[in-house]
Amino acid sequence: MNLVKLGIIGGMGPEATVDFYHRIVKHTVANCDQEHIDMVILNHASIIDRTYAIKNGLEQELLDSLKQDIQILEHTQVSNIAIPCNTCHTVLDQIQRLTSIPIINMVEETVKYIAEHKNNYKKIGLMATDGTILSGMYQKWFDTYGLSLHAPQKDIQSQIMDMIYQDIKARGIYNNEKFKKILTYFLQSGCDHVILGCTELSGFKQCFKAYSIDPMDYLVKACIEKSGKIYQED
């Protein structure tokens, strides 16, 4: 029997990759070890920072590193590839051209879900890295589905970047008060939900679940279902 194997290019950041793996295990219907998904996880923590690459014209360096990861996963004969990093999706089309193995699009899966449940949403804000914001990739998918997206003004974006890089990446700190202050800006701007458009921000979901849309949730669901397994809710 040919088993479906999932390839994961992780390390962006490492803690987000651990969380991603944990969620796949948690949400897969399985009664024993053998019923879980076979996975190959590359924790490529040393890869160039995605936002830095985008802002400094170094996308090719990023793609060259990802090409090596793709080649490893091709050798292990994975059936699908997931990249739990929003900013990395800014070059997803170029990454996909490096391989015939399908790469699951986390941004597309997220916006597709929102479109299918659009009666539950009015206006959605985006918390993400500068790279993700500059790329306009979420806006592209929102336009495709005729949805409204609110990107933050510059001073708020600066606070989001500080929270991602100085608090979470550098010190592993999730400051709920700081997040709440930024969330209040979005709510006062007419948003009823915000997309946690950086996997580092997923750690805020539990405390702010009523206002959060976490793309990692939809990537997890797609990975499980495309691996031939059944997804189970919490």
Q: Are 126 and 133 in contact (CB under 8 A)?
A: yes
CA distance 73 to 92: 16
**Whether residue 88 lies in the annotated active site:** no
**Whether residue 32 lies in the annotated active site:** no
CB within 8 A of 42, min separation 6: which ones?
A: 7, 8, 9, 10, 11, 69, 72, 73
CA distance 10 to 163: 21
The pair phi, psi for residue 190, each rounded to 5°, is 95, 5
Q: Are 223 and 6 in contact (CB under 8 A)?
A: yes
Q: In this structure, what token pair is assigned to residue 19?
A: 């969380």
Give the distance, in angstroms, between the CA of residue 54 and the centroid of all CA atoms in the same chain. 17
Please pick, among 85, 88, 191, 223, the residue that the annotation labels catalytic.
85
Please pick, among 32, 88, 191, 198, the residue that the annotation labels catalytic.
198
What is the set of active-site residues?
A: 85, 198
